[in-house]
Amino acid sequence: MRTGIALLPDGRDEPQGRAAPPGADWARLDDTVLYWADDDERWQDARDGARSAGVALEERPAPGTSADLHLVTQVGRVFQHEHPDVPVLVDKGRYLVVSLDKGRRDLVRPRAEVCYRVEPLRPGAVVFRSAAPAARRPDPGVQALVDEVSRDSYRQRLAELVAFETRHSLSDGFRAAAGMAAGVLRDLGYMVEEVPVEIGQGRSLNLVADRLAASRLPREVVVVTAHLDSINLQGGPAAPAPGADDNGSGAAGLLEIARVLAGAPLLGNDLRLILFGGEEEGLFGSTQYVASLPPDQRAGIRSVINMDMIATLNTATPTVLLEGAEVSARLMDELAVAAATYTSLGVQTSLRPFNSDHVPFIDASIPAVLTIEGADGANENIHTAGDTLDAIDEELALDIVRMNTAATAAALA
């Protein structure tokens, strides 16, 4: 197999950036396009086509055939830590293109915690890409709420969450963190319910907080979610797991949105905030929550905005990745416009939902989007004792909270 890499210039409108060289297959990962062909004649055609199209194609030798090309979606560097001998052709942090021969494929089964996914790389795949949404004139009411997002308040909540030695889903630390969060939400005037979550032989919980709208009918439900639990994969359930980025950052963001929207005028739609347990063990909290919803309640959900890992800078400039599916397209557009209008965030988009609490909603055909730190690099600290406040980028987190506040406020109107 012959492969080559092309780096795209700014202003990338076409999925492949420029015309694909004749004879070669391609897949795009933001500003990087991987081209490949199985035989020398096709590859020579591809080289000639690239030259005539003005594509700077850097050839890279790769083992195997096109059938060996696989796309990895991972959390942190879990796949590479477990399989350091697998050749990596393109490294974009959350996303990798690797070469897996038949003998290796059975050795790369995901862990029980579902920390990575491996699938064949399809020709023409656009794994993720940068977007350039047009800003709109800010809505004065929404702008006032965005301006209420407080660095001091966010910092306080995040520090309180990280202070627990661990928030493992089955630990006393998780229960204490949930109790703290429940107290904050009740003090803000939300109706709060603790809902049991089964994890094997153990039990965790989801924290569900509601603010009901005025009497307008029919009403929809606007949902904001984050997982509260943390984990230390190498150390086990009792090991230190501060979980500052994963996912103290998202949980603190939810509590900040709760504070800002608690003082908003009466809503047209209902607001529901959910802190999930059991995410790190396999999306137990969100899966059981969605399964418990009757069909009419599923149909009544307007949107779900999920925050997971929003505070580590993996890109050259502050960037958010919006990850959803076709059912989420309108919500992804709303979030991208909110980012352009109310923040300085760059925006990346992906239609390959993976391994966070938006997935069970999408599987039930409910519009849901993961908002997560940009994906050009990988966070090395998550799922370890090193996921501490030292690596937190507060401005990135606050801008993602502002974006989500704006989109949520607009949906509640």
Show me where the domains of the chain are located: 2-127, 140-412
Question: What pLDDT is stored for residue 266 in this prediction?
Answer: 74
Which parts of the chain sit beneath pLDDT 70?
A: 9-23, 53, 110-114
pLDDT of 111: 64
pLDDT in the model for residue 15: 45
Fold classification of 140-412 is Aminopeptidase (3.40.630)
Residues 334, 336, 340, 345: what is their CA dihedral angle, to the nearest 10 degrees?
140
At residue 301, the pLDDT reads 98
Q: What is the pLDDT of residues 272-304, one digit of tens each?
A: 999 999 999 999 999 999 999 999 999 999 999
Tens digit of each residue's pLDDT (9 = 90 or more) over 216-273: 778 999 999 999 999 999 999 999 999 999 999 999 999 999 999 998 987 899 999 9
Question: What is the per-residue pLDDT for 384?
Answer: 95
**Amino acid letter, residue 13:** D
Q: How far apart are CA 272 and CA 268, in angstroms?
A: 13
* Paired residues of 224 in beta bridges: 273, 305
